[in-house]
Amino acid sequence: MLFSHNGIRYLFSAMIKVAVGIIEQDGSVLVCQRKHTAPYPLKWEFPGGKIEDAEAPHEGLQRELKEELGIEARIGQLYHRQRYVYPDSGAYEILYYQVTSFEGTVETRAFEDIRWTRIEELAITDMLEGNREVVKKLMTGRGKLAPR
């Protein structure tokens, strides 16, 4: 597949589908810091991950949130969809879902750190490049989160 990013064309074998959760609580959203040994070390991102072949996006997101954070999440509506190309790792279709509720205590099982951040503070958070489009949407209020 041929993809363009910043005017440069890239050839990748397939687009990688990813499901991401926007978890909101008391006016803040949960962001997670990538491990210092991971690609794009110490960047902040919304939790989630690759969808496996036989999974529906919401099922993959539930699995990822259980593995990464130790929570049982109820997945709500699709909030945002985008495509993003990381020239060194591939082309991604990213599906952002609102997490309407969860059970359990949030733990940092797969990250360097996690934190609850006010939406307006996302502008000064060192977010992963592929998450910046949804950060702008959240900050401008173009896509208000549905009431939980």
Tens of pLDDT along the chain (148 residues) come to 555 556 655 555 688 999 999 999 998 999 999 999 999 999 999 999 999 999 999 999 999 999 999 999 999 999 999 999 888 888 899 999 999 999 999 999 999 999 999 999 999 999 999 999 999 999 998 666 665 5
pTM: 0.87
The H-assigned helical ranges of the chain are 57-69, 132-140
Q: What angle do CA 29, 79, 108 make, to 5 degrees?
A: 35
In a domain? residue 146: no
Amino acid at 66: K
In a domain? residue 45: yes
In a domain? residue 56: yes
In the chain, how many domains are there? 1
- CATH code for the domain in which residue 50 is found: 3.90.79.10
By residue range, what is the domain housing residue 9? 2-140
Instruction: Report the candidate in 130, 92, 88, 91 with the shortest Cα–Cα distance to residue 12.
Output: 91
In a domain? residue 39: yes
Q: Is 88 exposed, middle or buried (0-12, 13-18, 19+ CB in 10 A)?
A: exposed
In a domain? residue 147: no
